[in-house]
Amino acid sequence: MGDKTQTHPGAAGRAVAADHPASLRNVVLVGHSGSGKTTLVEALALTAGAVNRAGRVEDGGTVSDYDEIEHRQQRSVQLSLVPLEWDGIKVNVLDTPGYADFVGELRAGLRAADAALFVVSASDGVDGSTRMVWEECAAVGMPRAIVVTHLEAARADFEEMTRVCAETFGGDDPDAVLPLYLPLHGPQGPDGHAPVTGLVGLLSQKLFDYSSGERQESEPGPERLPDMTQARNRLIEGIIAESEDETLMDRYLGGEQVEVKTLIEDLERAVARGVFFPVLAAAPAAEGARQGIGTVELLELITRGFPTPFEHPTPGVTTIDGAPREIKPCDVDGPLVAEVVKTSSDPYVGRISLVRVFSGVLRPDMTVHVSGHGMTDRGHEDHDLDERIGALSMPFGKQQRPVPQAVAGDLVCVAKLTRAETGDTLSAKDDPLVMEPWRMPDPLLPLAIQAHSKADEDKLSQGLARLVAEDPTMRLEQNQDTHQVVLWCLGEAHADVALERLRTRYGVQVDVVPHRVSLRETFAHRSAGRGRHVKQSGGHGQYAICEIEVEPLPGGSGIEFVDKVVGGAVPRQFIPSVEKGVRAQAAKGVAAGHPLIDVRVTLLDGKAHSVDSSDAAFQTAGALALREAAADARIHLLEPVAEVSVLVGDDYVGAVMSDLSGRRGRVLGTEQTAGGRTVIRAEVPEIEIGRYAVDLRSLSHGTARFDRRYVRHEPMPVQIAEKVREQARDT
């Protein structure tokens, strides 16, 4: 790294293939929205020869032409794969959305990749969500590097940004986050800003000038050496500190000159092991240039420093019955184990699945076993079936270019997987296996929808099924209490994209309606009621009279029915009929149309007729008795209460606790965690946290996250309950 002199001849318009896992690198780009990830991918594609100087592949389109919604919204909303080739190495670049609503796409990219490249804007710095992803990568030991973009911006300072990255990402060892190159600046312009024209290699002590449009190497003048020496010495010490050769530091401190070749080899090993995190710089190419500034250096780091798929442990694999199965990392000769990391729909080709092959070889027209992913709670059905796959291809923007096979370690697009969803496992039909699912965030923003017209109603079910098949972060709920169809999303942008896809991709127009929570009713005090159902107007009549007493019970008791009839006033065969009528009326509600719970209903007395009494008559009498008891009682409306756990930076604890109190929340306690963060636990009425996913993000500048679980129903304040009753009467 840093000692190459040749430029790459390019491979414009040529599909990239890999015959062996050693010639593969899978890297995911991580960074906040606007940090320049997609621009960087296009610059890498230009340098590698995958596109021409106009940014187009040879038969039309750009590498980032991926989704019509992205063009309309001017931001990435889904994971995209761009395959490149550099020095005989195939590089699968996974570009992820930077907006927090699409973290599911980011998690899929992390699952499919073997290393992560964090893209940090010199003008915007490091945001909280990027910091949290870094911690996730650190927890699993994923190798990482950092590239600083937007160096062309006014007041952009690479050295300062490197210091911030070392403080943010270095933790207890900031010397593990150090630059490999320093920017080379040209003459100052009228505004006093000196543009970046190239890079200075700290290890090689070479200048790499991009100002001509091609990377030119030269020796630094003596005036540059003092600025380089301090940074170079610190870099050497940082590399040696992570060296596997424990004698190297002593030799270096003893005055021995360590060869650059040895330093580069140690650097590459430290990067691949995930213990050293180099910082690089990238800037736009000059007008008409074939190489963006820093792209050659970045491709060198990826191909020489990032690990091969052999160094990526296979996620946990079991048989269909749950027995553990040992799978060697990236075993080409092993059993087929692949995973669908993304599902999308093409209007011409149909469903296309982006698949990471972890073991074995995937070939066109194979019959594979599709195993489910265990997210039935989100509306994603588990699968256990065989499917014949179609063609294999590699994406270039909107195009798909055929490939003959995909070996272990590679990524490939698979056509005609009509049942497989994101997160499903593909394996041999005679040796079915399933991989443990990756962790997905819980969707906590409800979006209640209804079909816009009768024609839309006919297509809604299929459209929703296809929508959630593509996106495992989305949960579909058919609420039996409120009779609403609810899409649970990660945020407003996620919800907007879901509605747009329903409309444009699946031809379903829906209306968004207010989301309703599942309320309940209960008696505030003891009450009695008499149900009389008597109809005798010729022929077979109906006769049933019953008297009941209703009393409240503690929360969670449900409906309790007690028979205290004496003397056969209500014949034994009709007592279950009374109970059935009471329970049916309780399910419908007695005040505002919400189910009645937590009461004891005691049947005390009644009357029957030897001819006209019947099961149906006593069911009706039981319901009437319950309604009469409710008419003479005060009925409490009960609202669901959730326990909310908020993980937030210490700087925002006060604001979050104050906000929870304003939502009628009761703070149960706080707990300090690592990294200067606090967990706040509180009980909050669910009606108050419908938009909490959006509001918390705004309150904490995107650095907090929360989860929730239902605890119980409890009485709603009188003034709020009255508003709910008024709304019920109006509808």
State the pLDDT at residue 296.
92
Provide the token pair at 420: 């497989």
CA distance 352 to 24: 22
Nearest to 36 by CA among 117, 101, 107: 117
- Percent of residues in the chain assigned helix, strand, coil, to nearest 5: 30, 30, 40
6 confidence band (pLDDT: 50, 70, 90): very low
Task: State yes or no: pLDDT of 126 exceeds 80.
Answer: yes
Element (H, E) at 146: strand 144-149
* pLDDT tens by residue, 15-66: 444 578 999 999 999 998 888 898 999 899 988 887 765 455 544 455 555 5
Average pLDDT (573-593) is 93
β-pair partners for 486: 448, 477
- Helices and strands in the chain, H and E counts: 16, 36
State the pLDDT at residue 101.
85
State the pLDDT at residue 9.
35
3-state DSSP call for residue 304? Answer: helix
CA distance 245 to 481: 66
Q: Which residues contact 636 (CB under 8 A, 6 or more apart)?
A: 521, 522, 523, 524, 715, 716, 721
* pLDDT tens by residue, 522-535: 999 999 999 999 98
Amino acid at 189: G
Task: State yes or no: pLDDT of 4 exceeds 70.
Answer: no
State in Å, rounded, how far the first CA of the chain is from the last one.
70
Element (H, E) at 261: helix 260-273
Provide the token pair at 714: 């409890």
Nearest to 14 by CA among 41, 53, 50: 50
Average pLDDT (295-307) is 93
Please state the pTM of the whole predicted model. 0.84
* pLDDT tens by residue, 590-614: 988 899 999 999 999 999 988 889 9
Task: State yes or no: pLDDT of 196 exceeds 90.
Answer: no
State the pLDDT at residue 373.
67
CB atoms under 10 Å from CB of 643, counted, come to 16
Provide the token pair at 13: 């318009």
Q: DSSP for 465-483?
A: HHHHHH-TT-EEEEETTTT
Provide the token pair at 38: 């997609």
Q: What is the DSSP secondary structure assignment for residue 223, as one 8-state letter?
A: T
Taken in order of first residue, the domains within the chain and their CATH numbers are 21-179+264-311 (3.40.50.300), 317-435 (2.40.30.10), 445-513 (3.30.70.870), 520-633 (3.30.230.10), 637-730 (3.30.70.240)
- CA 337 from chain centre, in angstroms, equals 23
Nearest to 113 by CA among 474, 374, 420, 358: 358
* pLDDT tens by residue, 128-147: 888 888 988 988 889 999 99
Most confident stretch, 248-252, 488-492, 727-731: 488-492
State the pLDDT at residue 598.
95
Average pLDDT (96-125) is 90
Nearest to 584 by CA among 615, 609, 540, 606: 615
CA distance 335 to 368: 12
CA distance 504 to 218: 54
496 confidence band (pLDDT: 50, 70, 90): very high
3-state DSSP call for residue 218? Answer: strand
416 confidence band (pLDDT: 50, 70, 90): confident
Amino acid at 286: A
Most confident stretch, 113-127, 219-233, 240-254: 113-127
CA distances from 151 to 123, 477, 697 (A): 8, 46, 28
* pLDDT tens by residue, 627-646: 999 998 999 999 999 999 99
CA distance 649 to 141: 24
More confident residue, 112 or 226: 112
State the pLDDT at residue 191.
67
Q: What is the DSSP secondary structure assignment for residue 217, as one 8-state letter?
A: E
Most confident stretch, 271-285, 345-359, 570-584: 570-584
CA distance 131 to 119: 12
Average pLDDT (406-425) is 91
Residues in the chain: 731
* pLDDT tens by residue, 442-494: 899 999 999 999 999 889 998 998 888 888 889 999 998 889 999 999 999 99
Residue with the two structure tokens 């190495």: 89
Look at phi and psi of residue 439 and say left if phi exceeds 0, alpha if psi is from -120 to 50, else beta: beta
Most confident stretch, 66-80, 532-546, 620-634: 620-634
The three-state (H, E, C) secondary structure of 163-204, written as one string: HHHHHHHHCCCHHHEEECEEEEECCCCCCCCCCEEEEEECCC
Tell me what the pLDDT averaged over the chain comes to.
Answer: 87
Strands 527-535, 433-435: pairing kind: unpaired
β-pair partners for 600: 551, 560
Task: State yes or no: pLDDT of 5 exceeds 50.
Answer: no
Q: Which residues contact 332 (CB under 8 A, 6 or more apart)?
A: 20, 21, 359, 360, 361, 407, 408
* pLDDT tens by residue, 212-238: 778 888 888 787 777 788 899 999 999
* Phi and psi torsions of 274, nearest 5°: 75, 35
State the pLDDT at residue 68.
55
Q: Which residues contact 55 (CB under 8 A, 6 or more apart)?
A: 42, 45, 46, 62, 63
CA atoms within 13 A on the CB side of 362: 33
State the pLDDT at residue 290.
72
State the pLDDT at residue 350.
77
Average pLDDT (650-669) is 95
Task: State yes or no: pLDDT of 586 exceeds 80.
Answer: yes
Percent share of the chain, pLDDT over 90: 56
Q: Is 329 exposed, middle or buried (0-12, 13-18, 19+ CB in 10 A)?
A: middle
Amino acid at 242: E
Q: Is 59 exposed, middle or buried (0-12, 13-18, 19+ CB in 10 A)?
A: exposed
Q: DSSP for 351-405?
A: EEEEEEEEESEE-TT-EEEEE--S-GGGT----EEEEE---EEEEETTEEEE-S-
More confident residue, 668 or 9: 668
Nearest to 371 by CA among 432, 418, 414, 455: 432
Task: State yes or no: pLDDT of 687 exceeds 90.
Answer: yes
More confident residue, 31 or 194: 31
Q: DSSP for 418-457?
A: -S--TT-EEEETTB-EEEPPPP-PPP-EEEEEEESSHHHH
CA distance 138 to 635: 54
Q: Which residues contact 712 (CB under 8 A, 6 or more apart)?
A: 555, 556, 640, 641
CA distance 645 to 706: 5
Residue with the two structure tokens 């590097």: 145
Pair 182, 189: CB distance under 8 Å: no
State the pLDDT at residue 634.
92
* pLDDT tens by residue, 341-385: 998 876 666 788 999 999 999 999 999 999 976 666 666 667 789
List the strands of the sheet with 445-451, edge to edge: 475-479, 484-489, 445-451, 510-513
